[in-house]
Amino acid sequence: MTTNDTGLPPDANAVERRASVPVKGKSRDRRKTSDAIVLVLPLAFLLFAQWPLRSWLEAYSRDANNIAQIVFALYAAVAITAASRSKAHLAFVGYRKRVQRKATVLWRPWVRLVCVGPWAAFMLWTAAPQMVESIRVMEKFGEGYTAGYFVMRIALVVLAVLVLVNALADVYFETRRQRQAQV
């Protein structure tokens, strides 16, 4: 059995992928979000380096941990949206097999917006003021007082913005596709 770039059979979710985002926007979105993959190797290196730093040098392991946390926060903020855009999230497929695929495609973006929109709006409402204050005081990590904790707060707000924009874009493109299909 052959698979496509998402690891799914070639025809799996084909209707859904075509309907959610136009081809031009999809490739552009993938390029933007896949650029964050460059953070994976430094993250792995920093996580691996903690043990030798702690055991052999007996120094800098907290700094490596703090930097790894910052890199992971930035990577996760972008990777979650990238997985959504490429339909690579794990999902329960059994229900989808019973429901007509065309019907699923029509309501899925709206359900995503209803489920994710309030969470993203709440996160923006609560995290944005904390982010501003954290940037203002250049908040540091609690254990070693290493500078940079404010970057994690920025990453949280970036995550909420990207998730909200992704849900709104899915609804917009699906609505536009339905209108074009009616004409």
Query: Of the ranges 32-46, 86-100, 124-138, 150-164, which one carries the lowest mean pLDDT score?
Result: 86-100
pTM of the model: 0.69
Structure tokens at 154: 């920025």
Q: Can you give the pLDDT at residue 119? A: 93
What are the pLDDT digits (tens) for 79-111?
Answer: 888 877 777 766 655 555 555 555 556 677 888
Domain ranges of the chain: 21-182
Average pLDDT rounded to a whole number, residues 18-27: 46
* Orientation of helix 23-34 relative to helix 61-85, angle to 10°: 170
